[in-house]
């Protein structure tokens, strides 16, 4: 289980770093927005990412698929920078693209899928236990009346 959690944490860290670097590339190089607007947009992206990532910790396969495509999107967004941007930051762009493709590989792997499956089953068991406890409690209340 520790290996699964470790891989989840690695994917989370890589996507967090990739979100920041890709956002900087897009907002600074392509659109040239002000730092205040860049910070605001990055904050919004971070909140949405955290919500989706939280749902993955609850066993959502759909949100895991969203993160999978999100990592590809972040890699694809940096590809035009090799052609469009005049600044010599090619190594920075390459590292970011490689990091996002590695994240995609990790998310599509069996260990990440096993983590989501384990979390899904864990929270399904908790829900089932709560329902059983509520039945018992409601049954005792009806017997007292």
Residue 71 domain-assigned (yes or no): yes
Residue 135 domain-assigned (yes or no): no
Residue 136 domain-assigned (yes or no): no
Domain that holds residue 75: 2-117
pLDDT digits (tens, 9 = 90+) for 15-63: 999 999 888 888 877 888 888 888 898 899 999 999 999 999 999 999 9
pLDDT digits (tens, 9 = 90+) for 95-127: 999 999 999 999 998 999 999 999 999 999 999
- Alpha-carbon distances of 85 from 70, 75, 90, 97, 101, rounded to whole Å: 23, 16, 9, 15, 21
Residue 78 domain-assigned (yes or no): yes
Tell me which of 70 and 136 has the higher pLDDT.
70
The pLDDT score that the predictor gives to residue 82 is 76
Q: Measure the CA–CA gap between 124 and 134, rounded to whole angstroms.
A: 15
- Alpha-carbon distances of 90 from 25, 26, 81, 97, rounded to whole Å: 11, 14, 8, 10
Question: In the structure, what pLDDT confidence band is assigned to residue 1 with cuts at 50, 70 and 90?
Answer: confident
Residue 126 domain-assigned (yes or no): no
Residue 145 domain-assigned (yes or no): no
pLDDT digits (tens, 9 = 90+) for 55-89: 999 999 999 999 999 999 999 998 888 777 777 77
Residue 57 domain-assigned (yes or no): yes
The pLDDT score that the predictor gives to residue 81 is 81
The pLDDT score that the predictor gives to residue 65 is 94
Residue 40 domain-assigned (yes or no): yes
How many domains does the chain contain in total?
1
DSSP for residue 59: T
Q: How many Å separate Cα 109 from the centre of its chain?
A: 15
Question: In the structure, what pLDDT confidence band is assigned to residue 144 with cuts at 50, 70 and 90?
Answer: low
């Amino acid at each position: 289980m520790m290996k699964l959690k470790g891989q989840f944490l690695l994917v989370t860290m890589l996507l967090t770093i990739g979100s920041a670097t890709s956002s900087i590339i897009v907002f600074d190089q392509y659109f040239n927005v002000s730092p205040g607007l860049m910070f605001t947009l990055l904050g919004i992206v971070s909140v949405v990412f955290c919500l989706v990532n939280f749902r993955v910790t609850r066993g959502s396969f759909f949100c895991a698929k969203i993160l999978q495509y999100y990592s590809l999107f972040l890699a694809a967004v940096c590809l035009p920078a090799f052609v469009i941007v005049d600044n010599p930051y090619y190594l920075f762009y390459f590292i970011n693209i490689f990091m996002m493709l590695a994240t995609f590989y990790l998310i599509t792997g069996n260990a990440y899928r096993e983590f989501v499956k384990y979390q899904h089953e864990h929270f399904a068991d908790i829900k089932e236990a709560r329902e059983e406890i509520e039945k018992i409690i409601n049954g005792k209340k009806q017997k007292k009346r």
